Amino acid sequence: MAQKLSKIDRIIAKYQADKSALIQMLLEIQRENRWLPPKALERLSQRLGIPTNQIYHIATFYKAFSLIPQGRHAVSVCLGTACHVRGAPRLLDRVTDALCIGPGETSTDMKFTLSTVNCLGCCALGPVMVVDGEYHGNPSGKEIKRVIAMCD
């Protein structure tokens, strides 16, 4: 833990412990850990002199933050308008079936987290599924299974 804390201190130092950079610091912590560990938030609160409830207010307000650990593989399905009219709800159902977890959930073996996003800016591919940064346009049931099977 001591090591982790020093990492957080480094992030705080990078922003000169400036309170107004709180969201930026949280984004970096989220990126490094793929979630916001409570210990890290307590440390932030101490160092910046911001009450923890305010930090949690922010952490729960924005979609980018997660208060629970995320799976090793990030699967997301675009629910933007363009993808919606091209059948995103059906795609989401299929991905949900294939992963056995619903949107916002993480599998118990910590392998996958399924999330939904609003427009990835590649509407021409729609409906879009993204697995670990790889885009898949309108994947068939078979393709979904293949892509998921390739994750280890």
Partner 1 sequence: MAQFKSPADLARTRQRIISRRARKRFIAINASGTCGLAYGSDQVFQAFVAEIERQGLTEQVGVRATGCLGFCENSPIAIIFPEEISYFRVKPSDVPEIVSKTLAGKKLVNRLLYKDGNGKKIVREGEIPFYKHQSRIVFGNNRLIDPKSIDDYIALGGYSALSKALFEMSPEEVVETVKRANLRGRGGGGFPTGKKWETTRNAPGEIKFVIVNADEGDPGAYMDRSLLEGNPHSVLEGLIIGAYAIGSHEGYVYVRQEYPLAVENLFIALNQAREYGLLGKNIIGSGFNFDVAIHRGAGAFVSGESSALMTAIEGRVGEPRPKYIRTAVSGIRERPSNLNNVETWATVPLIISKGADWFTSIGTAESKGTKIFSLVGKVNNTGLVEVPMGMTLREIIYDIGGGIRQGKKFKAVQTGGPSGGCLPESLIDIPVDFDELTKVGSMMGSGGMIVMDEDDCMVDVARYFLTFLAEESCGKCIPCREGIRQMLHILIRICDGQGQTGDIELLEELSEVIQDASLCALGTTAPNPVLSTIRNFRDEYEEHVKERRCPSGVCKALISYYIQPERCQACLLCLRECPVGAITGGKNLVHVIDQDKCTKCGTCLEVCPPRFAAVLILSGEPVPAAPPQGTKVERTKGTQQ
Query: Using CB under 8 A, which residues numbered 106 to 145 contact partner 1?
Result: 117-126, 128, 135, 137, 140-141
Residue 94 interacting partner from partner 1, ligand FES, none (CB closer than 5 to 8 Å by kind): partner 1
**Judged by CB under 6 A, does residue 131 bind ligand FES?**
no
The pairs formed by 37-43 with CB atoms below 8 angstroms and a separation of 24 or more are 37/4, 38/67, 39/1, 39/4, 39/5, 40/4, 40/5, 40/8, 43/5, 43/8, 43/9
Q: How far apart are CA 23 and CA 59, in angstroms?
A: 9
CB of 137 to ligand FES, least distance (A): 9
Query: Using CB under 6 A, which residues numbered 83 to 122 contact ligand FES?
Result: 83, 119-122
Length of the chain measured in residues = 152
Output 80 or 139, the one with its CB closest to ligand FES.
Answer: 80
Q: Which residues of the shown chain bind partner 1 in the complex (CB under 8 A)?
A: 18-24, 26-27, 54, 57-58, 61-65, 79-82, 84-87, 90, 93-94, 97, 117-126, 128, 135, 137, 140-141
